[in-house]
Amino acid sequence: MATPNDRATFETVLRWMVENLEVASSVYRTPTGRLRVHSALHSNAQGHVLRRHNRAPHDRDDWLLNSATALLACCYAEALGKTLRPRKRTLGKKKPKKSKGARRGSGPNFIRFQSFVRRYMPDLVAECRDRGGRFSIRTFYKTYRNGFVHQFAHNKARWRRRGQQAPYWFSSGGYPGINVDRLAAGVIAAIAQFRIAFPLDARNGRHPYRNFVRRLDAD
Protein backbone atom coordinates (compact mmCIF):
# COMPACT_ATOMS: atom_id res chain seq x y z
CA MET A 1 0.00 0.00 0.00
CA ALA A 2 1.30 3.43 -0.90
CA THR A 3 2.06 5.69 2.02
CA PRO A 4 1.04 9.36 2.29
CA ASN A 5 4.75 10.17 2.11
CA ASP A 6 5.04 8.56 -1.34
CA ARG A 7 2.30 10.76 -2.74
CA ALA A 8 3.70 13.81 -0.95
CA THR A 9 7.10 13.14 -2.50
CA PHE A 10 5.51 12.79 -5.94
CA GLU A 11 3.68 16.11 -5.58
CA THR A 12 6.68 17.91 -4.08
CA VAL A 13 9.13 16.78 -6.75
CA LEU A 14 6.84 17.93 -9.56
CA ARG A 15 6.07 21.21 -7.82
CA TRP A 16 9.75 21.99 -7.29
CA MET A 17 10.54 21.19 -10.91
CA VAL A 18 7.88 23.62 -12.13
CA GLU A 19 8.84 26.36 -9.66
CA ASN A 20 12.55 26.08 -10.47
CA LEU A 21 11.76 26.50 -14.17
CA GLU A 22 9.41 29.44 -13.52
CA VAL A 23 11.98 31.27 -11.39
CA ALA A 24 15.01 30.53 -13.57
CA SER A 25 13.16 31.77 -16.66
CA SER A 26 12.13 35.05 -14.98
CA VAL A 27 15.46 36.62 -14.00
CA TYR A 28 16.74 39.49 -16.14
CA ARG A 29 19.05 42.51 -16.16
CA THR A 30 17.92 46.15 -16.34
CA PRO A 31 19.63 48.79 -18.54
CA THR A 32 21.46 50.02 -15.41
CA GLY A 33 22.84 46.56 -14.68
CA ARG A 34 20.50 45.71 -11.80
CA LEU A 35 19.09 42.21 -11.47
CA ARG A 36 15.33 41.84 -11.44
CA VAL A 37 12.76 39.07 -11.25
CA HIS A 38 9.95 39.61 -13.72
CA SER A 39 6.75 40.96 -12.17
CA ALA A 40 4.74 38.14 -13.75
CA LEU A 41 6.24 35.77 -11.20
CA HIS A 42 3.98 35.36 -8.16
CA SER A 43 2.71 32.92 -5.55
CA ASN A 44 -0.88 31.73 -5.86
CA ALA A 45 -3.27 30.97 -3.01
CA GLN A 46 -1.66 27.55 -2.53
CA GLY A 47 1.81 29.06 -2.33
CA HIS A 48 2.88 27.75 -5.75
CA VAL A 49 5.19 29.92 -7.83
CA LEU A 50 3.72 30.75 -11.24
CA ARG A 51 4.00 33.28 -14.08
CA ARG A 52 0.84 35.30 -14.79
CA HIS A 53 1.42 36.13 -18.43
CA ASN A 54 3.88 35.97 -21.28
CA ARG A 55 4.89 39.63 -21.57
CA ALA A 56 8.66 39.93 -21.70
CA PRO A 57 10.80 42.70 -20.14
CA HIS A 58 12.51 45.22 -22.41
CA ASP A 59 15.71 43.15 -22.73
CA ARG A 60 14.29 39.72 -23.43
CA ASP A 61 17.36 38.73 -25.44
CA ASP A 62 19.55 39.43 -22.41
CA TRP A 63 17.56 37.53 -19.79
CA LEU A 64 19.85 35.76 -17.37
CA LEU A 65 19.93 32.04 -16.60
CA ASN A 66 19.02 31.17 -20.19
CA SER A 67 21.32 28.15 -20.41
CA ALA A 68 20.46 27.20 -16.82
CA THR A 69 16.74 27.23 -17.69
CA ALA A 70 17.37 25.00 -20.72
CA LEU A 71 19.56 22.70 -18.61
CA LEU A 72 16.82 22.32 -15.98
CA ALA A 73 14.20 21.61 -18.64
CA CYS A 74 16.30 18.89 -20.29
CA CYS A 75 17.33 17.26 -17.01
CA TYR A 76 13.78 17.22 -15.63
CA ALA A 77 12.50 15.60 -18.83
CA GLU A 78 15.19 12.95 -18.51
CA ALA A 79 14.51 12.38 -14.80
CA LEU A 80 10.78 11.89 -15.31
CA GLY A 81 11.47 9.65 -18.29
CA LYS A 82 13.39 7.46 -15.87
CA THR A 83 10.16 6.77 -13.97
CA LEU A 84 8.26 5.60 -17.06
CA ARG A 85 8.01 1.86 -17.41
CA PRO A 86 10.50 0.63 -20.04
CA ARG A 87 9.27 -1.09 -23.15
CA LYS A 88 9.11 -4.87 -22.89
CA ARG A 89 11.62 -5.34 -25.70
CA THR A 90 14.33 -3.70 -23.54
CA LEU A 91 13.82 -6.02 -20.57
CA GLY A 92 16.49 -8.66 -20.03
CA LYS A 93 19.01 -6.92 -22.24
CA LYS A 94 22.33 -5.70 -20.95
CA LYS A 95 22.59 -1.98 -20.44
CA PRO A 96 24.88 -0.28 -22.95
CA LYS A 97 28.10 1.14 -21.61
CA LYS A 98 27.20 4.55 -20.30
CA SER A 99 30.19 6.49 -21.61
CA LYS A 100 29.98 5.05 -25.13
CA GLY A 101 26.21 5.49 -25.32
CA ALA A 102 26.44 9.04 -24.01
CA ARG A 103 28.93 9.95 -26.73
CA ARG A 104 26.62 8.59 -29.39
CA GLY A 105 23.55 10.16 -27.84
CA SER A 106 21.86 6.75 -27.67
CA GLY A 107 22.56 5.54 -24.12
CA PRO A 108 19.98 4.83 -21.39
CA ASN A 109 19.73 8.50 -20.42
CA PHE A 110 18.80 9.44 -23.97
CA ILE A 111 16.16 6.69 -24.03
CA ARG A 112 14.64 8.15 -20.85
CA PHE A 113 14.67 11.66 -22.25
CA GLN A 114 13.17 10.52 -25.54
CA SER A 115 10.47 8.46 -23.79
CA PHE A 116 9.26 11.48 -21.82
CA VAL A 117 9.32 13.81 -24.81
CA ARG A 118 7.45 11.40 -27.05
CA ARG A 119 4.78 10.71 -24.48
CA TYR A 120 4.22 14.16 -23.00
CA MET A 121 5.54 16.71 -25.52
CA PRO A 122 3.73 15.89 -28.78
CA ASP A 123 4.10 19.48 -29.98
CA LEU A 124 7.90 19.18 -29.88
CA VAL A 125 7.76 15.77 -31.56
CA ALA A 126 5.56 17.18 -34.33
CA GLU A 127 7.86 20.16 -34.87
CA CYS A 128 10.90 17.88 -35.11
CA ARG A 129 9.07 15.70 -37.64
CA ASP A 130 7.98 18.68 -39.73
CA ARG A 131 11.41 20.32 -39.80
CA GLY A 132 13.39 17.10 -40.17
CA GLY A 133 17.16 16.79 -40.45
CA ARG A 134 19.13 18.05 -37.48
CA PHE A 135 16.01 19.53 -35.86
CA SER A 136 15.51 16.37 -33.84
CA ILE A 137 15.06 15.00 -30.33
CA ARG A 138 18.56 13.53 -30.62
CA THR A 139 20.02 16.99 -31.34
CA PHE A 140 18.09 18.36 -28.38
CA TYR A 141 19.68 15.74 -26.17
CA LYS A 142 23.18 15.51 -27.59
CA THR A 143 23.87 19.18 -28.31
CA TYR A 144 21.85 20.85 -25.55
CA ARG A 145 21.29 18.46 -22.66
CA ASN A 146 24.81 16.99 -22.87
CA GLY A 147 26.38 20.31 -23.81
CA PHE A 148 24.88 22.18 -20.87
CA VAL A 149 25.64 19.35 -18.41
CA HIS A 150 29.22 18.54 -19.41
CA GLN A 151 30.45 21.97 -20.48
CA PHE A 152 29.00 25.46 -20.57
CA ALA A 153 27.59 24.76 -24.03
CA HIS A 154 28.32 22.70 -27.12
CA ASN A 155 30.14 24.69 -29.81
CA LYS A 156 27.15 24.19 -32.13
CA ALA A 157 24.59 25.30 -29.55
CA ARG A 158 22.45 28.39 -30.20
CA TRP A 159 19.76 29.57 -27.80
CA ARG A 160 17.58 32.66 -27.49
CA ARG A 161 14.47 34.04 -25.79
CA ARG A 162 11.81 34.16 -28.49
CA GLY A 163 8.61 33.91 -26.44
CA GLN A 164 6.45 31.02 -25.27
CA GLN A 165 4.26 31.08 -28.38
CA ALA A 166 7.13 30.87 -30.89
CA PRO A 167 8.39 27.47 -32.16
CA TYR A 168 10.87 25.39 -30.18
CA TRP A 169 13.44 25.58 -32.97
CA PHE A 170 15.02 28.33 -35.04
CA SER A 171 17.92 28.29 -37.47
CA SER A 172 21.08 30.25 -36.69
CA GLY A 173 24.21 30.12 -38.81
CA GLY A 174 23.13 26.78 -40.22
CA TYR A 175 22.68 25.23 -36.79
CA PRO A 176 19.43 24.30 -34.98
CA GLY A 177 18.85 26.77 -32.14
CA ILE A 178 16.42 26.36 -29.26
CA ASN A 179 13.86 28.84 -27.98
CA VAL A 180 14.36 28.78 -24.21
CA ASP A 181 10.94 30.28 -23.49
CA ARG A 182 9.08 27.62 -25.47
CA LEU A 183 11.22 24.81 -24.05
CA ALA A 184 10.53 25.85 -20.45
CA ALA A 185 6.81 26.30 -21.13
CA GLY A 186 6.66 22.97 -22.96
CA VAL A 187 8.28 21.03 -20.13
CA ILE A 188 6.07 22.75 -17.54
CA ALA A 189 2.97 21.75 -19.53
CA ALA A 190 4.35 18.20 -19.89
CA ILE A 191 4.89 17.95 -16.13
CA ALA A 192 1.25 18.95 -15.57
CA GLN A 193 0.14 16.15 -17.92
CA PHE A 194 2.51 13.70 -16.26
CA ARG A 195 1.10 14.53 -12.83
CA ILE A 196 -2.39 13.47 -13.94
CA ALA A 197 -1.45 10.53 -16.16
CA PHE A 198 1.20 8.73 -14.10
CA PRO A 199 -1.00 7.58 -11.18
CA LEU A 200 -3.71 6.40 -13.62
CA ASP A 201 -1.41 4.41 -15.90
CA ALA A 202 -1.82 0.68 -15.23
CA ARG A 203 1.82 0.14 -16.23
CA ASN A 204 2.82 1.87 -13.01
CA GLY A 205 1.19 -0.82 -10.90
CA ARG A 206 -1.13 -0.73 -7.92
CA HIS A 207 1.19 1.62 -6.05
CA PRO A 208 2.21 4.26 -8.61
CA TYR A 209 3.49 6.81 -6.09
CA ARG A 210 5.76 4.26 -4.44
CA ASN A 211 7.01 3.13 -7.85
CA PHE A 212 7.64 6.73 -8.85
CA VAL A 213 9.88 7.28 -5.82
CA ARG A 214 11.75 4.00 -6.34
CA ARG A 215 12.33 4.58 -10.02
CA LEU A 216 13.44 8.17 -9.50
CA ASP A 217 16.01 7.04 -6.91
CA ALA A 218 17.28 4.10 -8.98
CA ASP A 219 20.57 4.30 -10.88
Q: Are strands 41-43 and 27-29 parallel, antiparallel or unpaired?
A: unpaired
Is residue 24 domain-resident?
Answer: no
Write phi, then psi, for 153 (nearest 5 degrees).
-165, 150
Asked if residue 82 is part of any domain, the answer here is yes
- pLDDT at residue number 90: 42
Return the pLDDT at 106: 62
CB atoms within 10 A of CB 186: 22
120 contacts 190 by C-beta, under 8 angstroms: yes
**Closest CA relative to residue 140, chosen from 108, 113, 174:** 113
Q: Which parts of the chain register pLDDT below 70?
A: 1-3, 52-63, 86-106
Q: Residue 54 burial (CB < 10 Å; 0-12/13-18/19+)?
A: exposed
Domain that holds residue 133: 66-217
Number of domains into which the chain is organized? 1
Q: Does residue 48 lie within any of the structural domains?
A: no
The pTM (predicted TM-score) of the whole model is: 0.83
Specify if 132 maps to a domain.
Answer: yes
Burial of 132 (0-12, 13-18, 19+ CB in 10 A): exposed
Residue 86, pLDDT score: 60
Q: ∠ CA(2), CA(192), CA(125), 5° rounding?
A: 120
pLDDT confidence of residue 81: 96
47 part of a folded domain: no
CB 160 within 8 A of CB 170: yes
What are residue 46's DSSP bridge partners? Answer: none
Amino acid 57: pLDDT: 61
